[in-house]
Structure 1
């Protein structure tokens, strides 16, 4: 197949490109060339999807069997790509987010759960991330004349992660010592490896699927304590976990999800954070590897980056704040 990947060089886009090339597809990537590295074997077209002239240059004289849009976040911008690619590809696969579901993360959800209200031509200031993702889905569903495949992932982990969640924990635990650990170690999680998600998206794209899927891991595929224990095992660290309860951390203004990546306190706001149903996607071929493999392979990638050059975005607690809270907990 001839596949255009809008993105194609960072994290999920990279994984999709790698898998597509491995399967023997002819791949074109379209990106600005500032965030990642082009993979050998793919045709790289430089351009900014927000610049109409760049989109016109991309489609001039080209057609594909399918398009996979990895990084669309603004409905109006996604709609511009859809209009130009309509008739030049048979399938438009759009990577959305579980955050487009209005009940998430407070409640369980599946494909029948309502999405946020957002127009397909909404601009960047017309809502938050989840709301705009819902509008992007509608821009594809309503604007593309061929097959519209929507995949809304949950929490994605794995090698080349650019968000910094698992990499931050691996880096922190590798340094050893007393490590402040948040909440209940038995809290069940639900995560998916980026490579498994990429394989599912490609398989459904190859089939010309016209449908929408929530795609996350298997419910309870690891606990929070088990996840951190896997980080300790692969790094060979002597880390000693000191588990502090949710209320204690919230009283000290520790930010859920970011200061301790993937920490979701036991509260109504996060009651469904690890409960999205991926049953439909699993029935359609989604297969998930053990989380331990994801942790191992992510550490193998991360350890090749010098410690001073590791970037975790806005994730991770300040060392001084962690030390102070450890002292207060003791």
Structure 2
């Protein structure tokens, strides 16, 4: 198989390249050559897809599959699709659950409304960029396109820092503010499992690519972090209402966690019938945690996002966590 990855040096793109090589495929990446490296055996084409004639390096090539992780202006995704329509059999676009128009009912499937976005639009916010790019790719490739609406993506190489924050915090030890309840389920997809789905699936159109609800819980995640770090951390499970009342923001201050009833709970609670029917498999969360810890120890720090501005750091400030733990443990009158 001949695989083309547009990008290929970031989190999901890098996992896709690695999976293609593992299978013995012929792997080509197309990017500006400004960020990251590629493994031996990968053919690297240079070009800036945002520039006039920036796709020239793709001329003359033919591939069985292209994987595109673009999250900028939808018109740029459309231009790449148009340039490749006669030379690629299938187009897999890595989209996001963020494309759904709020309010979103937890458990919704792919037929839920998406945000308004034009396929020829300039860059906007993340949700409209992804939604517009979906439409751009679909307009060109039709039923030869997969729109993989990924959920929470974790695993080695993560460039947001959600799981790395928990691992680093728990490795420091001591009392850890653990957002309850411990049995709170959440959905995730390991970047390596997402990559396997992109390369294997013959599904078309939008697919929510994330694990089933209950595949992991906050307790399983944090217990795995304690185990792999060998830490003496003590998880202090705290009622979600206490945490919210203190002004703590789910997802940002306490990464991955969104309590039941929260307006953004749907981000961790979507219907995945199509994905599993199309062959998605998800490894145990403990494996994702262990491999992420091994990777983080090897690289030392979370890498910058490929080709994009850095986001604000995730995670609770240590002083604020200490104050919350003190209030939690204070005797009542």
Q: Which of 230, 237, 250 pairs up with 2:231? A: 237
Matched-pair contact (CA < 8 Å) for 2:152–2:188:
yes
Whether 1:62 aligns to 2:56 is no
Structure 2 unmatched ranges of 5 or more: 305-310
Provide the rounded CA distance (Å) in 2 between the counterparts of 1:77 and 1:85: 13
Matched-pair contact (CA < 8 Å) for 2:184–2:259:
no
Provide the rounded CA distance (Å) in 1 between the counterparts of 2:196 and 2:154: 14
> TM-score, normalised on structure 1?
0.91
Counterpart in the other structure of 1:257 = 251
Whether 1:190 aligns to 2:187 is yes
The 3 A distance-change label for structure 1 pair 310 and 137 is closer
**72-81 vs 144-153, greater mean Cα deviation:** 144-153
Shift of 1:75: 1.0
The 3 A distance-change label for structure 1 pair 212 and 162 is same
Matched-pair contact (CA < 8 Å) for 2:151–2:267:
no
Counterpart in the other structure of 2:261 = 267
Provide the rounded CA distance (Å) in 2 between the counterparts of 1:305 and 1:80: 35
Shift of 1:287: 1.0
Counterpart in the other structure of 2:3 = 3
The 3 A distance-change label for structure 1 pair 197 and 310 is closer
Matched-pair contact (CA < 8 Å) for 1:86–1:146:
no
- Secondary structure (helix, strand or coil) at the match of 2:24 reads coil
Counterpart in the other structure of 1:95 = 94
Whether 1:175 aligns to 2:169 is no
Aligned residues: 322
Matched-pair contact (CA < 8 Å) for 1:87–1:145:
no
The 3 A distance-change label for structure 1 pair 268 and 323 is closer
Provide the rounded CA distance (Å) in 1 between the counterparts of 2:205 and 2:143: 12
Deviation readout 1:100-137 (Å, 9 max, x if unpaired): 12257552211222222211112213xx3223211111
Matched-pair contact (CA < 8 Å) for 2:143–2:205:
no
Provide the rounded CA distance (Å) in 2 between the counterparts of 1:217 and 1:35: 30
Provide the rounded CA distance (Å) in 2 between the counterparts of 1:257 and 1:192: 16
Counterpart in the other structure of 1:132 = 129
Provide the rounded CA distance (Å) in 1 between the counterparts of 2:214 and 2:298: 30
Matched-pair contact (CA < 8 Å) for 2:258–2:268:
no
Matched-pair contact (CA < 8 Å) for 1:100–1:134:
yes
Counterpart in the other structure of 2:16 = 16
Structure 1 unmatched ranges of 5 or more: none
Provide the rounded CA distance (Å) in 2 between the counterparts of 1:239 and 1:191: 24
**Which residues of 2 match residues 1-330 of structure 1 at below 5 A?**
1-55=1-55, 57-103=56-102, 106-125=105-124, 128-144=125-141, 147-204=144-201, 207=202, 209-306=203-300, 309-310=301-302, 314-330=313-329
- Secondary structure (helix, strand or coil) at the match of 2:36 reads coil
**162-171 vs 267-276, greater mean Cα deviation:** 267-276
**278-287 vs 260-269, greater mean Cα deviation:** 260-269
> TM-score, normalised on structure 2?
0.90
Could you say what the CA RMSD is over the residues aligned between the two structures, in angstroms? 1.9
The 3 A distance-change label for structure 1 pair 310 and 285 is closer
Which runs of 4 or more aligned residues in structure 1 lie more than 3 Å from their structure 2 counterparts after TM superposition?
103-106, 309-313
Matched-pair contact (CA < 8 Å) for 1:183–1:245:
yes
Deviation readout 1:224-259 (Å, 9 max, x if unpaired): 122101110111111011223333223332222011
Counterpart in the other structure of 2:308 = none
The 3 A distance-change label for structure 1 pair 146 and 213 is closer
Deviation readout 1:277-299 (Å, 9 max, x if unpaired): 11111111111111111111111
